[in-house]
Structure 1
Amino acid sequence: MKKQWMFGAMAIALWSSYACAQPDAGEPSVLVTQVALRQGSLPSTVQAYGFVQPSKAASRTVMATASAMVQAVYVREGEEIAAGAPMLRLAPAPQTAAAFAQAQSALRVARQLAARTQQMFAQHLATAQQLADAQKSEADATANLAALKAQGAGGAQVLRAPFRAVVMHLSASPGMLAAEGASLLELASPEKTILKVGVAPAQAMLVSAGNTARVTAVGEAQSWSGTVVQRGSMIDPSTGLVPVEIALPPGRFLPGEAAGAAITVGETQGYVVPHAAILVDDHGEPYVVQSKNMKARKVKVNVVGMQADKDVIRGSGLNPGEPLVLSGNYQLDDGMRMRVATQDGKGEQ
């Protein structure tokens, strides 16, 4: 009886020592994926929105060079026209025609006077000063008539597009009497456009000419490269923002189109992690989960930069030697065991 009791005690002791040496089969674990925690950087950007406009350097206002009557209009507002295409037909206004006739008459008289004075000078009946005055009067009359011709006073003329352009604004209409200097239409080259955006004053101080930007039209997925060409030095009182102009690639945007820009103003250093690695606790504070000896460890972090699906984080508790948990991280609490998913989707201890 005593021997049976001793054998039973030994069996219990052996089983107890074996059980203590093995992990608790009932201890919960979570299937996760992990990535290495690495230092890096992401572009630091300023976000802004605005509208596409023609570049001022590629815009032109066509004005009436003399008082004229608009006989015909060949273009429409918003239309793209080729270089040399007819735009307007103008005829001199009555007062312009009268001024041209007077200039022609004045030139005839000046020529006759100069010729007569030349003959008299040859006969020693006129002085050199009188001849010089007559010749100057002829030159002045010639220049005046040429100027009126250049202004279109000599007859009807057709105004043609100086370059391939979009008609941004049309003020002229058939039958309209346009005064000298009046705006008839505004042209802009479709090859040279800018995106004019407004930036908050604090962020505008980070922007400077030459900064690169990624520009995306509203409703579009694809973005295009642009360059900051000008940053305003004062706040626009109508918006409370600082105007910034971004040069756009030719042929990619239409004037008046709404677009957003991400302006690169520097680099943000830290740990670059997938956005899926970042969680938020009950207090609204961001954190990540690292794996220490296959057990979860929550680490509070600060998100200091982001781009697309990547974030830059910093935190005093981060350990670059411990893997970062991705999928399954939301199920973990401090100290919980993990199983790392293999390529076939199964877990390994």
Structure 2
Amino acid sequence: MLLLGAVVMVWRLSAAAHAPPAAAPTALPGVPVTAGSVAAADVPIVLRGLGTVQAYNTVAVKSRVDGHIVSVDFKEGQEVKEGAVLFQIDPRPYQAALDQATANIEKDHATLANAQLNFNRDAKLIESHLAISQQQYDTDKATVAADQAALDSDKAQAEVARLNLSYCTITAPIDGRLGARLIDKGNLVQSTGNATLVNITQIKPIFVSFTLPQNTLDELRRQQDRRPLAVDAVAGDNETTLAEGKLTLVDNMVDPSTGTIHLKAQFDNQDERLWPGEFVNVRVVLSVRQQVPTVPQQTVLEGADGHFVYVIKPDDTVERRAVEVAAVQDGKAVITKGLKPGEPVVVEGQYRLNNGARIRSQARPQSGGERPNGAPQ
């Protein structure tokens, strides 16, 4: 029995001598996060509103004379220049009126010439004290005046007839784009009917009308006095800039029912990306912060004592640091205190961190001056 125990003891000691050494305890893995860096950028200070695109000029084309439309000389929706022919109204009645007025001018001109001859003869006779009464002289003088008035009236009637004849050709009063044709060839139009034949809108340039809260008015006017303020018209996705223009109007009173101020901005609109009646988002650029620290918006967290971020230290641990945020716009937070450009920060995954925690970072897609893993740019 003692021999068996000795054999077992020798076997255990031999097995222990040949067993592999125990593995050293492994360090805990770091918290996986996405790293970025603080970027220095010029950040505009903007005011935002909702606006409506308005045509620079809008004209409802109407007829100034009565008559049948004999031709329509445009296509719906086409762009036209000022003076382009749009409609032609039957000119024959107005041409006849002009011809009649011209004939009356010739007739009354001849009558006036004859009366003037009689008056001139009377003037010579009365100067020579020959047989002519004062009454005859006065009558011939009055006849000349009456014939002159009749001739002047004929000329005025001829001018009216000539003007009406010109109104038979309806032309575009402004450069712009035509809308739908509202009356067809062959229809009778009347100047007293006030019917619109077609609408024409000028869209180059174009306006955007919008409102802002009244509490922005003081700073808005102060900046506008320094220089014309830039205004961006932005699509509904709030990312695509449709056009860049200038602020042209700050209305002369605040709407007391809404507490807003009405404004207008003008855009060249050469590419016609703005269309009358369209709703757009508006950004008024008040000023630009020069080379200020910025980080992606999600980098900044809010705690009981204010905003903070996690800054990555060289040993792959993080430091919780308080920051002051001046503004958040376009997905970026503008930092006025607490960070310097180039410092590595945790952009995503920071909700599982605490001060001094170890991290395992991965590169964030580079944009806006960010860099992976805190590497210098």
| Cα-to-partner distance string for 1:47-90 (whole Å, 9 max, x where unaligned) | 2222322103xx44434334x13425737896224345542233
Q: TM-score, normalised by structure 2?
A: 0.64
Report how far residue 264 of structure 1 moved: 0.7
Q: Find the counterpart in structure 1 of residue 61 from structure 2.
A: 62
Q: Find the counterpart in structure 2 of residue 211 from structure 1.
A: 229
Give, in whole Å, the separation in 2 of the partners of 1:98 and 1:144: 12
Report whether the alignment pairs 1:192 with 2:205. yes
Q: Which runs of 5+ in 2 are unaligned?
A: 1-24, 124-136, 365-371
Contact kept? 1:54, 1:194, Cα under 8 Å? yes
Q: Find the counterpart in structure 2 of residue 298 from structure 1.
A: 320
Q: Which runs of 5+ in 1 are unaligned?
A: 1-23
Aligned-partner SS, 1:326: strand
| Cα-to-partner distance string for 1:216-236 (whole Å, 9 max, x where unaligned) | 333683532222222222345
Give, in whole Å, the separation in 1 of the partners of 2:318 and 2:287: 34
Q: Find the counterpart in structure 1 of residue 22 from structure 2.
A: none
| Cα-to-partner distance string for 1:227-263 (whole Å, 9 max, x where unaligned) | 2222222345787643322222223222233322211
Give, in whole Å, the separation in 1 of the partners of 2:298 and 2:179: 50
Alignment of 1:74-89 (within 5 A): 74=72, 79-83=77-81, 85-89=84-88
Give, in whole Å, the separation in 1 of the partners of 2:178 and 2:259: 31
Alpha-carbon RMSD? 4.4
Q: Find the counterpart in structure 2 of residue 20 from structure 1.
A: none
Q: Supply the AA of the counterpart residue of 1:167.
A: L
| Cα-to-partner distance string for 1:294-337 (whole Å, 9 max, x where unaligned) | 5433234443224434321234xx15399341344333212224
Q: Supply the AA of the counterpart residue of 2:49.
A: A
Give, in whole Å, the separation in 1 of the partners of 2:262 and 2:92: 43
Q: 1:202 to 1:281 in 2, by over 3 A?
A: closer
Q: Find the counterpart in structure 2 of residue 157 from structure 1.
A: 168
Report whether the alignment pairs 1:142 with 2:144. no
Structure 1 stretch displaced more, 24-33 or 204-213: 24-33
Q: TM-score, normalised by structure 1?
A: 0.69
Aligned-partner SS, 2:204: coil
Aligned-partner SS, 1:88: strand
Q: Find the counterpart in structure 1 of residue 37 from structure 2.
A: 35
| Cα-to-partner distance string for 1:132-191 (whole Å, 9 max, x where unaligned) | 6644552343134213321338xx823233555322476656223222877544322343
Give, in whole Å, the separation in 2 of the partners of 1:193 and 1:162: 17
Q: Find the counterpart in structure 1 of residue 52 from structure 2.
A: 51
Q: Find the counterpart in structure 1 of residue 215 from structure 2.
A: 202
2:264 to 245, 248, 271: 245
Alignment of 1:91-130 (within 5 A): 91=90, 107-108=105-106, 110-124=108-122
Contact kept? 1:341, 1:347, Cα under 8 Å? no
Give, in whole Å, the separation in 2 of the partners of 1:347 and 1:245: 45
Q: Find the counterpart in structure 2 of residue 12 from structure 1.
A: none
Q: Supply the AA of the counterpart residue of 1:299.
A: R
Q: 1:272 to 1:135 in 2, by over 3 A?
A: farther
Structure 1 stretch displaced more, 43-52 or 138-147: 138-147
Q: 1:279 to 1:311 in 2, by over 3 A?
A: closer
| Cα-to-partner distance string for 1:245-289 (whole Å, 9 max, x where unaligned) | 222222322223332221111234684322155333466954222
Give, in whole Å, the separation in 2 of the partners of 1:37 and 1:216: 25
Give, in whole Å, the separation in 2 of the partners of 1:242 and 1:93: 54
1:310 to 318, 328, 332: 332
Q: 1:90 to 1:303 in 2, by over 3 A?
A: farther
Q: Find the counterpart in structure 2 of residue 167 from structure 1.
A: 178
Report how far residue 104 of structure 1 moved: 5.5
Report how far residue 109 of structure 1 moved: 5.4
Larger radius of gyration: 2
Q: Supply the AA of the counterpart residue of 2:276.
A: P
Identity %: 18
Report whether the alignment pairs 1:325 with 2:345. yes
Aligned-partner SS, 1:65: coil
Of Structure 1 and Structure 2, which has the larger fraction of its residues in helix?
Answer: 2
Q: Find the counterpart in structure 1 of residue 10 from structure 2.
A: none
Report whether the alignment pairs 1:179 with 2:211. no
Give, in whole Å, the separation in 2 of the partners of 1:237 and 1:169: 38
Give, in whole Å, the separation in 2 of the partners of 1:54 and 1:274: 40
Contact kept? 2:300, 2:333, Cα under 8 Å? no
Give, in whole Å, the separation in 1 of the partners of 2:341 and 2:327: 22
Contact kept? 1:217, 1:257, Cα under 8 Å? no
Contact kept? 1:211, 1:227, Cα under 8 Å? yes
Q: 1:322 to 1:299 in 2, by over 3 A?
A: farther
